[in-house]
């Protein structure tokens, strides 16, 4: 991810999560959460490997039972990215998760009961250099704060987060990351703005419970764009009712669109109109599907007519401008070859693969 974005980053302290640095100006980290039962080690590992392939940098797993906490040890042997244990109410699960090799915790300290029980968790986390994320969601706000503010407001969410953070600070623990999310964009943005005025801890950001793939992607893109524009995110998750690897794909598309990531293909295609003389939608869909998952920083364009097509195709690393049953393929701004419509997809895809290999060789 680039460090020369037009968006200023909020200045925060840095924490370590496994082999990653979070905050302190470090690149924005993309994370997701498994949707399997954590105790089902085989299914959870398969899902995490798909996430890794998609570019996920941190994975969170739910730990509602002791067997889930114990399973972390086996899962960690099979994966390459840091793992966060998501725990509510039971400090025993936090302790077992740390002992099983979790790289981080997501808890709300106030739900752990006595301060002595929390101290045991915090002391072990400190010894193992395990950071803790305090996570406040609008749907689980404390009853006294709901009574005080009369509704789920940004102010109430911030007070909840500060209350949880203070419990950790009172125990001398400062390896903290905070999330403070709602399912509506305005309240989420207001909450992060308010919280940024009061703490210098790094933020994990997103629009929680954003919805199914299409609606959730649009809502997440709108919300995260605003948060990222103001530098209010150090890690992000796109929360979708969809396979978790889709969350990662959408997250990177958001970052790439804002100039905050160079990972993966920047795919450009026109909407099509009455001037199109090829089956543009089919061509674009087939090319996009074939090159999905490529991590090289390339721009690929599929254009449907001779009006804007040649210009867009020339600007891309590789692109095609289509005419009546043919495609003119451009590579690095110059005409590469003309091919019939039936050969456009294969020719374009093969060139993308060759360019990807060249990029890899140059890096090595």
Give the Cβ contact number of residue 315 at 10 Å: 13
DSSP 148-192: HHSS--HHHHHHHHHHHHHHHHTTT---EEEEEE-SSHHHHHHHH
> Which residue stretches of the chain are H helix?
41-54, 66-78, 91-99, 115-128, 143-149, 154-169, 185-196, 213-229, 244-257, 280-291, 309-315, 341-363
Per-residue tens of pLDDT for the chain, all 364 residues:
334 457 888 999 999 999 999 999 999 999 999 999 999 999 999 999 999 999 999 999 999 999 999 999 999 999 999 999 999 999 999 999 999 999 999 999 888 888 899 999 999 999 999 999 999 988 888 999 999 999 999 999 999 999 999 999 999 999 999 999 888 999 999 999 999 999 999 999 999 888 899 999 999 999 999 999 999 999 999 999 999 999 999 999 999 999 899 888 899 998 888 888 888 999 999 999 999 878 788 999 999 887 888 888 899 999 999 988 899 999 999 999 999 999 999 999 999 999 988 777 666 6
Q: What angle do CA 42, 45, 48 make, to 5 degrees?
A: 150
Query: Which of helix, strand or coil describes residue 48?
Result: helix
CB distance 84 to 61 below 8 Å: yes
Q: What angle do CA 115, 204, 265 make, to 5 degrees?
A: 155
Exposure class string for 85-95: b at 16+ Cβ within 10 A, else e: bbbbebbebbb
**Domains of the chain by start residue, with CATH:** 14-257 (3.20.20.20), 266-363 (3.30.413.10)
The neighbouring-strand residues paired with 180 are 136
């Amino acid at each position: 991810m680039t460090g020369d974005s037009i968006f200023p980053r909020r200045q925060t302290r840095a924490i370590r999560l496994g082999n990653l640095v979070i905050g302190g100006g470090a690149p924005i980290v993309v994370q997701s959460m498994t949707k399997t039962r954590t105790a089902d080690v085989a299914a959870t590992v398969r899902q995490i490997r798909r996430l890794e392939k998609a570019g996920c940098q941190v994975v969170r797993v739910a730990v509602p039972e002791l067997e889930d906490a114990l399973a972390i040890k086996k899962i960690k042997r099979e994966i390459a990215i840091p793992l966060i244990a998501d725990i509510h109410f039971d400090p025993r699960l936090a302790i077992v998760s740390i002992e099983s090799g979790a790289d981080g915790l997501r808890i709300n300290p106030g739900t752990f009961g006595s301060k002595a029980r929390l101290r045991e968790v915090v002391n072990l986390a400190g010894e193992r250099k395990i950071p803790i994320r305090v996570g406040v969601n609008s749907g689980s706000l404390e009853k006294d704060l709901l009574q005080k503010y009369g509704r789920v407001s940004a102010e109430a969410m911030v007070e909840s987060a500060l209350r949880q953070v203070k419990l950790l600070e009172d125990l001398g623990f400062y390896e903290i990351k905070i999330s403070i999310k709602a399912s509506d964009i305005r309240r989420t943005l207001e909450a992060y703005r308010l919280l940024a005025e009061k703490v210098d801890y790094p933020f994990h950001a997103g629009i929680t419970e954003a919805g199914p793939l299409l609606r959730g992607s649009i809502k997440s893109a709108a919300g995260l764009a605003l948060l990222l524009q103001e530098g209010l995110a150090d890690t992000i998750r796109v929360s979708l009712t969809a396979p978790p690897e889709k969350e990662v794909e959408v997250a990177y598309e958001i970052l790439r669109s804002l100039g905050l990531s160079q990972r993966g293909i920047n795919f450009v295609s026109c909407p099509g109109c009455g001037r199109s003389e090829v089956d543009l939608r089919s061509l674009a869909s087939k090319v996009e599907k074939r090159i999905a998952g490529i991590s090289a920083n390339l721009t690929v364009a599929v254009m449907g007519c001779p009006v804007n097509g040649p210009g867009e195709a020339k600007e891309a690393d590789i692109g095609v401008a289509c005419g009546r049953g043919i495609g003119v393929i451009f590579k690095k701004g110059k005409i590469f070859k003309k091919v019939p419509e039936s050969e456009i997809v294969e020719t374009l895809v093969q060139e993308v693969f060759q360019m990807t290999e060249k990029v890899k060789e140059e890096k090595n």
